[in-house]
Amino acid sequence: MKKLVVSTAVSIVVLALCAGIAGAQSATEREITQLILDGNEYSKKNLKDVGDSASKAGSLEFWSSGGLLQQVPPGGAPVRDFDAFSLDAKHIQVITLVEGQAAVAQYYSEGSMKPKGSPAVPHYLTRVTEVYVKEDGKWKVRAAHWSAVTGGSGTSQTSLDQ
């Protein structure tokens, strides 16, 4: 009987620890992860980018096309429309810099897309790093770097003028 009680107690402790590890994500990490997933779902459903994504100070960004550093204005780049969009964010990792104020997200973006007026990208595969800041209760991008993974492609857009 004593062995059964000890065994049960050990099992409860192990389950509690596992639950704690699984639930160890901070509120900031959960919010940023959900923001990324929601953005992809919005674009799939509406065939356009989510608007108003950049910080009120703008955002410095390297895009997956391999172009030069872009100074994205406050609110974000002009919204792109798509003929097709099926990108998924995968393996999202968020590092909280200041809880509720600043974080860095790193993940992969994979799928295909066809921006209106631009060539289709049938195997879009990039690594993404985005720096987020919270402004007026909303997470905004302050800096980003998108780089194509070997064997994949980035976007064809190289500047805000396209």
Q: Per residue in 128-150, pLDDT tens?
A: 999 999 999 999 999 999 999 98
pTM of model > 0.85: no
How many C-beta atoms lie closer than 10 Å to residue 78's C-beta? 13
What is the pLDDT at residue 158? 55
Tokens 């790193």 correspond to what residue? 106
**Which amino acid is it at 115?**
P
